[in-house]
Structure 1
């Protein structure tokens, strides 16, 4: 009887250990997904512009904070960018940290950004800072930001 119980305990611990390894592997896979999404988002912003990139990567209920204003919803985010973005403005960013939930449905990133623009005299202005983005996996498996 003691041998059976000991065998059962060893089997359970082995299964639990395997599950932990699988979860760790999944989280690492999801972190790679988020890094790839961040890169694709940044690349789209460079190639197709900020308006298109922010509209595409926003969740339907996504939120952005710009200055002292909070803009809620994909449509309002797109409208804000259409109204606010000027020619010759660029925004580039690179995440330096990624965290993903153990369920693989939420993630957040932060890192460095550089915003470049030209003033009315054509002088280049460069602003650097830290960004923070919260991502949520959508029903179709894609990642969209819910906070930027």
Structure 2
């Protein structure tokens, strides 16, 4: 006699439901998600050009980390406070645009990167950002880091073994 007499019935009913849920999950359209993240990154950058600080904050995940200074900025409030001054004045002090976006096969995380230009248009830095899909079509930035600009991506590197 089994210790859990109702367990076989629960398993018999639950297994088809679980399998049905898995079968009904739509495959991820990676190309569409890549376009979606690219458009999101461009919209994020446009907040700087428009001098739209509130719009900028809307793209930040609550637990965002921006790592580019002496200490990482942890959390939406800290990032927003540190970036507030960049939105003062009529001209944006810098701009950025994605030139590379990749999305996980699961469609839950993406990475974007590209050049950062100073107010005169000179490339000074390269950004690297990680985006998380928080709900269908809604991406928020969770990690951001700037790196000195270089032509190192243009050089072919041997594969690691």
Establish whether TM, by shorter chain, passes 0.5. yes
In the TM superposition, residue 126 of structure 1 has moved relative to its aligned partner by: 5.3
1:41-65 residue CA offsets vs partner (Å, 9 max, x unmatched): 111221134x334322110100112
Cα distance change, pair 141–81 in 1 and its aligned pair in 2 (3 A): same
Report if the CA contact (8 A) 1:54-1:77 is conserved.
no
Q: Pick from 54, 70, 90: which aligns with 2:56? A: 54
RMSD in angstroms over aligned alpha carbons? 2.3
Q: TM-score, normalised by structure 1?
A: 0.68
C-alpha separation in 2, matches of 1:38 and 1:115: 18
Aligned residues: 117
Q: Which residue of 2 aligns with 1:142?
A: 138
Bigger proportion of residues as strand: 1
C-alpha separation in 2, matches of 1:62 and 1:90: 22
1:66-109 residue CA offsets vs partner (Å, 9 max, x unmatched): 32221111111111122565534432111111110011000001
Stretches of structure 2 that go unaligned for 5 or more consecutive residues are 1-26, 145-161
C-alpha separation in 2, matches of 1:54 and 1:44: 5
Cα distance change, pair 38–78 in 1 and its aligned pair in 2 (3 A): same
Alignment of 1:86-101 (within 5 A): 86-87=88-89, 88-101=91-104
**Is residue 110 of structure 1 aligned with residue 106 of structure 2?**
no
Q: TM-score, normalised by structure 2?
A: 0.63
Q: Which residue of 1 aligns with 2:82?
A: 80
C-alpha separation in 1, matches of 2:77 and 2:43: 21
C-alpha separation in 2, matches of 1:53 and 1:65: 21
Cα distance change, pair 125–96 in 1 and its aligned pair in 2 (3 A): closer
Bigger proportion of residues as helix: 1
